[in-house]
Amino acid sequence: MGLVAFGSSRLIALWDHKAGRVLATIKGHESTVTAVRFIGDVLISGSADSTLRLWSPDSDGRFNCFQIVSDVHKKTITSLAVFGDIVVSGSAEGVFCIWSLIRNESQVKLELVEEKTIGPRFYPISLAVHGLEENRIVIAVGGTSNDTYLFTGDIKSQSFTLDAKLSGHENWIRSLSFKRHEDDILLASASQDNYIRLWRIHKGGINTIGNRTASDVEKDDEALNELADTTGINLLSNKVYHIDNDKYTLTFEALLMGHDDWIYEVSWHPSKLELLSASSDSTLMFWSPDASSGIWICSTRLGDVSIKGASTATGASGGFWNALWLDDGYSVATIGRTGSWRIWSLECTNNNWVSQISISGHVRAVTDISWEDSGAYLLSTSLDQTTRLHSTWKKDASWHEISRPQIHGYDMMAVKSFSREVFVSAGDEKTLRVFEQPKGIAELMENVCGIYTSSSQKENLPESATVPVLGLSNKEEETKSVETPDSERSESMNDDENIHGTIRSTLSALTEPPKEDHLQRQTLWPELEKLYGHGYEISSIDISEDKTLLATSCRANNETHAVIRLYETKKWLQLKSPLSLHNLTITRLRFSPNGKYLLSVSRDRQWGLWAKNESEQFELVASNSKGHTRIIWDCAWLPDSSGFITASRDKSIKIWKINGDEWNEHNQIKFDAPVTAIDISANGILVVGLESGALFIYELAINSFDPQLVEQIDEYITPSLRVTRISWRPQGKQFAVASEDFILRLYSL
């Protein structure tokens, strides 16, 4: 099928890397998906909910779960391995299980063959399985020890025995992979000691090197051990292991050194004798034996040159977690902690690996979203401590991450677009930050997205931004003005010009969406201002329709801090006298479309409405201390500002309208789960999001306060966890949905 399956929170994402998009996200697991494997057309998944689930596609291509195994493993599934119809699963209670996938005319079913343990305090985190002769199989198990354990057996006898314990690594075993090569089988083991070890399984007692017997090799091993004892130097072992009732011998083949940090995965090429490895040092390495000497060497290295422990804000990708061969070995893919898949494809004409456009996304819950006023781009914030900008590629209207304006040291909680060039965001801290688009990003968006900035505006934009070591603020790169000798000043100015000139020229030269190496290094926006005033972490922000006011709130457990602070946006200064009403955290602030009102909802179950008086100051004109019986999570204004809707944990939304000088409840709609997010389009289409991830669409007729249900969106394409924010695209028929399952979704009517 050419699909790549990967876990995303509780979901399994199915990604068509050739089409460049995720085709579906499969629901079912009740906790984080930790392992996925295809076995033919069947997909097997394991989760932190301790279950194994089997999925198969129907005639429409939808994957449906046809078996849940919940009574074997008791803790998190840590690893899966498959070979033919054999499945091996490991879990955090220290058990690994051997399964057989039974296929017959009536059903396909996973049956338990045997359950095994290795020892106390050992947890299997890497597994591999391969076939021997006469329907026998070999299983390699690695985990929280320095040794790799080999078991052999067959499915019919339902008996597997421990035949060998392979020593040599100096830390936990992270990945194992088998490869048949001619008459032998090669096993690659990767460890947190930064090394890869290769082992050769050979049928019979003759070693593959010359005509030396196994006893000859053992004598050499004894000599090496004696030398190690006398010199104190730990040399490579050449010990011979006998497995499967002495039918096979296993010897150490090679030690591969080159990675500078933990190695997370090794994977053999589908057809050639070539090994791919992925490491925390942010590199992929290709290993193969030299044609003349047979010595294993690194033939190609892809990825980044980064310092161990470096943050993504300083240009490090945070390491690579897996290594996948795609397209029969002509492409490779990996992903790291930044949430971006990275693909390289082999150009056969010059034998070079070329980086390709891929997909990216948040790696923790998405907390807030905001459209640019014209709908040109969408901003999102997440608990992964980033703010990201998404827009369409003008070539084919596909959506991509175009910029990563903020890589922060705090979880991000709120974002609001102020203009095409400026936005405001707030992390899990007391400070709000105002960002301005640099020239390089403006030119990038012109070339890639067709989003244009006038020449006069562009001239006033900063050049680029960087984050200082141990810093939280994106600093503008500009020419220094410190008094220095002419020669030093000239050299310093040239260095600065080279830095931001290189970033700008690199971005302005792009004609396709930036890849991860650009996003993590060169697409930051510099900070324009910092706004202070709140005593606790920011909870909500909004900007008035005329762009003159910024309203903010913070976490609070008393009325002293449960206030609304207003800032004028000309000089970004706080106005006096914060607005007081609530006793607990204000969860959402919304200015009315006509700019006359400011609405607030809170954890204290009440809403408050402020209106501008004759002196252009906001004063409280209405409130309801019993607006709902539980926390009010969200609110939204009707397009004509004649009423508003509130959404609550009490599983309802309420519509409020003005009657003379009073605002009264007009209608209420009940749901099966707490309502966590709502938004209304300019033409009166209401979208309701629930804690369960369900989405409902209602239509509000003109001058009517009685919503009519249009549809409940198919759960196959809705979030699996709480909907955190819904936002209609201005001047369009699309709306964005943020959720706790790490995914930002865009729907079209």
For 463-499, write each residue's pLDDT tens digit.
877 766 556 677 776 544 444 455 444 444 444 445 5
Residue 384: domain span:
369-527
- Structural domains in the chain (count): 4
Q: Clarify whether residues 646 and 729 are in a common domain.
A: yes
Q: Is pLDDT of 45 > 80?
A: yes
What pLDDT does residue 487 have?
46
Once rounded to an integer, what is the mean pLDDT over residues 126-148?
95
Average pLDDT for the chain: 90
Last residue in a domain, options 359, 383, 400: 359
Q: Clarify whether residues 374 and 292 are in a common domain.
A: no
Could you give phi then psi for residue 99, rounded to 5 degrees? -125, 155
The DSSP element (H or E) to which 517 belongs, if any, is helix 516-522
Q: Clarify whether residues 556 and 698 are in a common domain.
A: yes
Q: Clarify whether residues 501 and 650 are in a common domain.
A: no
Residue with tokens 């329709």: 545
Q: Clarify whether residues 615 and 695 are in a common domain.
A: yes
Residue 273 vs residues 137, 180, 182, 477, 739: alpha-carbon distances, Å: 21, 9, 10, 48, 43
Last residue in a domain, options 319, 339, 359: 359
The answer to the question of residue 571 being in a domain is: yes
Instruction: Give me the amino acid identity at 513.
Output: P
The answer to the question of residue 238 being in a domain is: yes
Q: What is the pLDDT of residues 394-419, one digit of tens each?
A: 999 999 999 999 998 899 999 999 99
| Spatial contact of 43 and 63, defined as CB atoms under 8 Å apart | yes
Distance of alpha carbon 631 from the chain centroid: 29
Could you give phi then psi for residue 645, rounded to 5 degrees? -125, 140
Q: Which of 612, 558, 623 is nearest to 584 (CA)?
A: 558
The answer to the question of residue 65 being in a domain is: no
Residue 563 vs residues 92, 429, 534, 536, 588: alpha-carbon distances, Å: 46, 16, 9, 11, 12
Q: Is pLDDT of 2 > 80?
A: no
| Spatial contact of 480 and 496, defined as CB atoms under 8 Å apart | yes
Cβ burial of 612 (10 Å; 0-12, 13-18, 19+) is middle
The answer to the question of residue 470 being in a domain is: yes
Q: Which of 43, 50, 39 is nearest to 14 (CA)?
A: 43
Q: Which of 323, 185, 324 is nearest to 247 (CA)?
A: 185
Q: Clarify whether residues 379 and 325 are in a common domain.
A: no
Q: Clarify whether residues 487 and 431 are in a common domain.
A: yes
Residues 268 and 284: their CA atoms lie apart, in Å, by: 13
Q: Which residues face 268 on adjacent strands?
A: 275
Residue 84 vs residues 135, 614, 661: alpha-carbon distances, Å: 11, 78, 74
Q: What is the pLDDT of residues 443-457, one digit of tens each?
A: 999 999 999 988 888
CATH number at residue 704: 2.130.10.10
What pLDDT does residue 502 have?
81
Once rounded to an integer, what is the mean pLDDT over residues 587-605?
97
Band (pLDDT 50/70/90 cuts) for residue 205 is low
Supply 590's token pair: 């919304």
Once rounded to an integer, what is the mean pLDDT over residues 150-174?
93
Q: Following CA atoms 217, 222, 227, 228 in sequence, which dihedral angle do they give, to the nearest 10 degrees?
A: 100
The DSSP element (H or E) to which 711 belongs, if any, is strand 708-712
Instruction: Give me the amino acid identity at 315.
Output: G
- The pTM of this model reads 0.90
Q: Clarify whether residues 434 and 515 are in a common domain.
A: yes
Once rounded to an integer, what is the mean pLDDT over residues 505-529?
92
Percent of the chain exceeding pLDDT 70 equals: 89
Q: Is pLDDT of 171 > 60?
A: yes
Q: Clarify whether residues 422 and 571 are in a common domain.
A: no
Q: Clarify whether residues 663 and 577 are in a common domain.
A: yes
Q: Is pLDDT of 501 > 90?
A: no
Supply 562's token pair: 């449960």
Q: Is pLDDT of 214 > 90?
A: no
The answer to the question of residue 18 being in a domain is: no
What pLDDT does residue 455 have?
83
Strand boundaries in 21-84, DSSP class E: 21-26, 33-39, 42-47, 52-57, 63-69, 77-83
Q: Is pLDDT of 310 > 60?
A: no
Find the range with the poorest average confidence among 140-149, 308-317, 345-354, 685-694. Answer: 308-317
Find the range with the poorest average confidence among 334-338, 408-412, 626-630, 702-706. Answer: 702-706
The answer to the question of residue 70 being in a domain is: no
Q: Is pLDDT of 353 > 60?
A: yes
| Spatial contact of 695 and 712, defined as CB atoms under 8 Å apart | yes
Q: Clarify whether residues 506 and 579 are in a common domain.
A: no
The answer to the question of residue 29 being in a domain is: no
Q: Clarify whether residues 694 and 554 are in a common domain.
A: yes
| Spatial contact of 534 and 430, defined as CB atoms under 8 Å apart | yes
The answer to the question of residue 88 being in a domain is: no
Residues 59 and 713: their CA atoms lie apart, in Å, by: 21
Last residue in a domain, options 224, 257, 290: 257
What pLDDT does residue 62 have?
93
